[in-house]
Structure 1
Amino acid sequence: MPDLHWTIPVARWSSWPAAASAAPDIGFIEPIVRRRLSTLSRIALKVAHDCVAQDDVRVVFASRHGELRRTTDILRSISAGEPVSPTAFSLSVLNAMTGVFGIARGDRSAASAISAGAETLGYALLEAYAQYATQPASPVLLVYADEPADPRYGTIEDEVQGGAIAILLNQETAAGQLVCTLSGAGAAAASVSVSASSQANPAEAGADADAEARFATQSQALQHCLDTRRSAAWQGTGVTWHWSWHDGAA
């Protein structure tokens, strides 16, 4: 397949690690709503709030599994003949976070939700870019949040790491450019594999400054690129996703 390139103007970005011991601060959400939210929605709302001010913003939310754990609990209740909470049901849909976020901000801007298996984050970046390109005067907020599926679903190929990342697309206040590339098989021959333990240390990701670190999940690769400003890649089935950073606005 031919390479596909697009460049995202990054005004702000935020992340929340899956291994964080502290709970995310989402004090901007009313307590009556806040206590009903899942961990997934909480971390998504946290990073989203970090990236936006008071201006209206379109939202693209992405998650491979979404509120699967809440849905699983609902199915358990149904199986046991127990009543299902209407609130739990309404918060079990993939786009639950976007609704809560829009209501809390009083923002009626468009919002969409994407799930595309192991490539969810990559295609969400493409969707966010496409929406921004059609209307550059209106910022777009990309929010990705995920968590591993319930063990009862068995082994899942290319399972997610968990955690959340948000990126605000806005050329007027861009601090840098995130270059995204989707290429065919074999295009990442110059990549160098790194373990999860070495990704925290850029020096261990590869001695060659031009080498491209390769990661087990898309979120790990993107996080590495944003944190270190060094290229990163993720190998899928027949395709490779690449990310690189360029300082300053285009």
Structure 2
Amino acid sequence: MTRLLHAGIDAIGLLGPGLHHWEQARPIFAGLAPWHPETTRVPPPAALPPAERRRCGIATKAALGVAQQALATASAPDSQLATVFTSSGGDGVNCHEICAALASEDRSISPTRFHNSVLNAPAGYWSISTGTMAPATVLCAHDGSFAAGLLEAMTQVQADERPVLLLAYDTSYPEPLFGLRPIPDAFGVALLLTPAPGTSRIGRITLDPASCLTDRPADTCRDAGMEQLRASIPAARCLPLLHALARSGTTNITLGYLDGLQMQVSVDANAD
């Protein structure tokens, strides 16, 4: 018999259009407050030394920003946390600048641009900011990157019986790449997953590896603008999960994963 995957959710970090952090966004997801979309405000990562803070790109800022939010309300020390970083394409602005440099007469690429071009750059900056020697996993599964990251993180939580910080993030591309990959804004989410059974501040999530994949359509958001956000930014495919966690009770949800193949999870959200 296949073993179910269980994890508690002890903390959430969030950055997106009109979504500044979990406590501000939770009433919106619960239907108790209006959502006012505006350009995502991505703060500089305060935990990085000044030199690295200047050099890092927006993908790193988004990943570390949601990580710092989540850990500000959690008891787990960041230097001991295993992490899973997942993104559909990394730093779109940096990719554009490298392509522009290669298309110029000079064709010189700065070392900073080069080392920010790899998908695991945010994981490297995370290790600098925290001094951690804990394992970090970096994934990319195109539009299915959030679901792939969630599956990986929950597997690690259960197999290793230790907390894991899941970080999912995406950034926009300038033109002309935007025309082919129209991600409109930056979005990031962090979930601090803990072994279950046990206490969890926000809720619990269960996944059956043997039957979680389905051809049913992914759940959508009731608000038309929020649904457009979910559909246009791969990391925002987490929104049905966040809606479920904002309300008390048990909910079965279907998350967008791959074309024609979605992922079902069960969410048990704590009552306020």
Instruction: Say yes or no: TM over 0.5.
Output: yes
3-state SS of paired residue (2:246): helix
Q: Which amino acid aligns with 1:179?
A: T
Q: In structure 2, which of residues 119, 125, 132 is the aligned counterpart of residue 100 of structure 1?
A: 125
Q: Answer yes or no: is 1:233 the counterpart of 2:254.
A: yes
- 1:126-176 Cα distance to aligned partner (Å, 9 max, x none): 00111122210x32110001023344233449x586410001112355222
- Secondary structure at 1:233's aligned position in 2? strand
Q: Does 1:149 pair with 2:182? A: no
Equivalent runs, 1:82-231 vs 2, <5 Å: 82-136=107-161, 138-153=162-177, 154-156=179-181, 162-171=186-195, 172-175=198-201, 176-180=203-207, 182-186=212-216, 194-197=222-225, 216=231, 218-228=237-247
| More helix as a share of residues | 2
Could you say what the CA RMSD is over the residues aligned between the two structures, in angstroms? Answer: 3.0
**Cα gap change, 1:147 to 1:228, in 2 (>3 Å):** farther
Report the CA distance between 1:20 and its aligned residue.
Answer: 4.7
C-alpha spacing 1:155/1:195, structure 2 compared with 1 (3 Å): farther
- Deviation per residue, 1:100-138 (Å, 9 max, x gap): 1111111011111111111110010000111122210x3
8 Å Cα contact 2:86-2:167 kept in structure 1: yes
For 2:67, the aligned partner's letter is: A
1:35 aligns with 2:54: yes
1:14-49 deviations in whole A, cap 9, x for unaligned?
A: 111144554425222111111222222112101112
- Would the aligned equivalents of 1:59 and 1:111 in 2 still touch at CA under 8 Å? yes
CA-CA distance at 1:237 after TM superposition: 2.4
1:123 counterpart SS class: helix
TM-score calculated relative to the size of structure 2: 0.72
Distance 2:153 2:98 in 1: 31
* The one of 46, 64, 69 aligned to 1:45: 64
* Runs of 5+ unmatched residues, structure 2: 18-37
1:185: how far off? 1.7
Larger deviation, residues 92-101 vs 143-152: 143-152
TM-score, length basis structure 1: 0.77
Is 2:167–2:188's contact at 8 Å kept on the other side of the alignment? yes
Deviation for aligned residue 1:4: 10
The CA distance in 1 between the partners of 2:88 and 2:95, in whole Å, is 14
Task: Report SS of the residue matched to 2:176.
Answer: helix
Q: Could you tell me how far apart the structure 2 residues matched to 1:24 and 1:173 are?
A: 31
Tell me which residue corresponds to 1:12: 11
CA contact (8 A) 1:65 1:148 kept: no
Contact 2:62/2:186 (CA < 8 Å) preserved in 1?
no
C-alpha offsets along residues 201-226 of structure 1, whole Å, 9 cap, x if unaligned?
xxxxxxxxxxxxxx635133233233
2:43 is paired with a residue whose SS is coil
Distance (Å, rounded) in 1 between the aligned partners of 2:44 and 2:146: 24
- Greater CA drift, 95-104 or 79-88: 79-88
2:134 is paired with a residue whose SS is coil
SS at match of 2:96: helix
Partner of 1:69: 93
Q: Per the alignment, in what secondary structure is the counterpart of residue 35 of structure 1?
A: helix
What is the rounded CA distance, in whole Å, between the counterparts of 2:217 and 2:116 in structure 1?
41
